[in-house]
Amino acid sequence: MQRKYSLDVVVVVLLFGIYAICAVLLCMIGANVYHNTADSMARNYDNRTGALYVVEKIRQNDSAGVIATDSVEGSDALVITEKKSGQGYRIWLFVKDGTLYEGFFAPDTEPDPALCEEIMPMQSLTITMTGSRDKVIDLAFTTTDGKTQDFSLSLRSAGSGGAR
């Protein structure tokens, strides 16, 4: 009887040990999957958000003579001219020192990066207006990890501001 009891205890302890090892392995696998998913989501965010931010700004302001290109301290810039409540201003979007900036300035004021809002990290932004009457905007975004995304947007408006 004593021998059967000790054998039962050994079997129960072994089963518990196997269960514990399986539970720990399952937790480790789950943590690894979570880590990989979080990294993938962060890369996806970095690769798409900045580009889509600029694309959406263009789509929101697609009116004749509103969108133009310029430069800020040697970097390409997208310039959007707006008029609200009788006041005109220009929105400048550009990349400087690895950061996408957005600034609101009076029409006759040159943009100062120190007065602009940091949007997100981005290595570079290249903007070219092509086509008849500058109807196509070619954008090339380079993220901080070196990946480049290219977009070509056809303006729906009857004409653009073009390059200044």
User: What is the residue extent of each domain of the chain?
Assistant: 45-163
DSSP string, the chain: -HHHHHHHHHHHHHHHHHHHHHHHHHHHHHHHHHHHHHHHHHHHHHHHHHHHHHHHHHHHT--TTTEEEEEETTEEEEEEEEEETTEEEEEEEEEETTEEEEEEE-TT----GGGSEEEEE-SEEEEEEESGGG-EEEEEEE-TTS-EEEEEEE--SS---EE-
- Calculate what percentage of the chain has a pLDDT beyond 70: 92
Provide the token pair at 65: 């003579």
- pLDDT-derived band at 164 (thresholds 50, 70, 90) equals very low
The more confidently predicted of residues 132 and 141 is: 141
- Mean pLDDT across 9-27: 96
DSSP 3-state of 16 = helix
